[in-house]
Homo-oligomer: A and B are copies of this chain.
């Protein structure tokens, strides 16, 4: 293995000079000398030892990412975003699938710390364990101690993350989409209120209504479980209400998909009878019929944003938390409001309370 001194010998210069020629930000070296060094390095197929450099610099250009599972389409998009941003700066990306097992996560962080990774990004492994939190806190301190940066990403909620999405604005825009389509009575299927993300999205719903000058009707908000079954139950509850509505905005896609399935069962067509929207843009959203109009999470941008946040941290600046904008993806699940009432052709289009 050729080292820098071998190159120095071959070029007839000192190792210091070789280092100067080959370092990332080239330093003043005579042209002839530089050429000799470059030639020697080429001849010896010299690749600098990043470990030695890292030992000196106290960390190595590597970013470690802790995810739940790299196989999950969400996380590998995030990882790809990180990689794209990181590789252009000469960093390598280590992916760690914790499988939501606390010990695995801790041992991964420890490993990343042991190789002195410049950046460690937590991309939402979703483990809630006090012991783990303490350990992570200790490691975070340790990582910062050697000059590394620690960043938390949250694809679903902002919360304590340095980079997250503007759930509220996203929900507000999709409500606007519904309003623009003519809807005046928009129901809302919400998730468990204890979750940060749920509260953010609910706030967005209210903001969207307010922006359109529509009243907020608490009755039209159903709190249910964050899955498709919850969506079905939510629909049942809404239909049993003593009020009408022409659209249902859901706090996530799973809820929306469950709602659509239930509506279908009940003979209510989407979007002709009722319009439905989701949030997240999971794969299924584009695969069901009709396609679900939803809000897409900018996963790659979150990844690259996370790396860039860390890069600023490393550069010594004090970056601000980053809220990423969300994009509404229009598919087939939103149609004009009340086509029936207006055209009086399809009596089933507006669902009235007790209509079942």
Residues from chain B with a CB closer than 8 A to the CB of A79 are: 70, 95
State the Cβ distance, A57 to closest chain B Cβ, in Å.
9
Q: How many copies does the complex hold?
A: 2
Is there contact, CB below 8 Å, between A95 and B83? yes
Residues from chain B with a CB closer than 8 A to the CB of A110 are: 47
Residues from chain B with a CB closer than 8 A to the CB of A104 are: 87
Residues from chain B with a CB closer than 8 A to the CB of A62 are: 94, 115
Interface string of A142-160 (1 = CB under 8 A from B): 1001100000000000000
Give the size of the chain A interface in residues (CB under 8 angstroms): 47
Query: A330 contacts the other chain (Cβ, under 8 Å)?
Result: no
Residues from chain B with a CB closer than 8 A to the CB of A138 are: 45
Which of these binds chain B: A31-39, A48-56, A333-341? A48-56
Query: A69 contacts the other chain (Cβ, under 8 Å)?
Result: yes
Query: A112 contacts the other chain (Cβ, under 8 Å)?
Result: yes
Is there contact, CB below 8 Å, between A112 and B92? yes
Is there contact, CB below 8 Å, between B60 and A51? yes
A71 to B283, CA, bound (A): 13
A306 to B68, CA, bound (A): 23
Which A251-287 residues have a C-beta within 8 angstroms of B? none
Is there contact, CB below 8 Å, between B1 and A50? no
Query: A164 contacts the other chain (Cβ, under 8 Å)?
Result: no
Contact of A51 among B108, B111, B115 (CB under 8 A): B115
Query: A130 contacts the other chain (Cβ, under 8 Å)?
Result: no
Query: A204 contacts the other chain (Cβ, under 8 Å)?
Result: no
State the Cβ distance, A123 to closest chain B Cβ, in Å.
13
Is there contact, CB below 8 Å, between B83 and A76? no
Is there contact, CB below 8 Å, between A115 and B95? no
Is there contact, CB below 8 Å, between B116 and A92? no
Query: A64 contacts the other chain (Cβ, under 8 Å)?
Result: yes
State the Cβ distance, A7 to closest chain B Cβ, in Å.
14
Is there contact, CB below 8 Å, between A114 and B48? yes
Query: A97 contacts the other chain (Cβ, under 8 Å)?
Result: yes
Contact of A83 among B49, B70, B112 (CB under 8 A): B70
Query: A77 contacts the other chain (Cβ, under 8 Å)?
Result: yes
Among A62, A94, A107, A146, find the residue whose CB has the most chain B CB atoms closer than 10 A: A94
Residues from chain B with a CB closer than 8 A to the CB of A60 are: 51, 115
Interface string of A14-52 (1 = CB under 8 A from B): 000000000000000000000000000000010111111
Is there contact, CB below 8 Å, between B64 and A142? no
Is there contact, CB below 8 Å, between B83 and A51? no
Query: A80 contacts the other chain (Cβ, under 8 Å)?
Result: yes
Given the known A-B contacts A83-B70, A94-B62, are A1 and B77 also in contact in the complex, defined by CB atoms under 8 Å? no
Is there contact, CB below 8 Å, between B83 and A142? no
* Interfacial residues, chain A to chain B (CB-CB below 8 A): 1, 45, 47-52, 54-55, 58, 60, 62, 64, 69-71, 73, 76-77, 79-80, 83, 87, 90, 92-97, 104, 107-108, 110-116, 138-139, 141-142, 145-146
Question: Could you list 15 examples of A-B contacts with CB < 8 Å?
Answer: A1-B58, A1-B146, A47-B139, A51-B51, A51-B52, A51-B54, A71-B77, A76-B76, A80-B97, A90-B111, A92-B96, A92-B111, A93-B94, A93-B96, A95-B95
Please give me the 4 A-B residue pairs with the lowest Cβ-Cβ distance, nearest first.
Answer: A50-B115, A50-B114, A51-B54, A51-B55
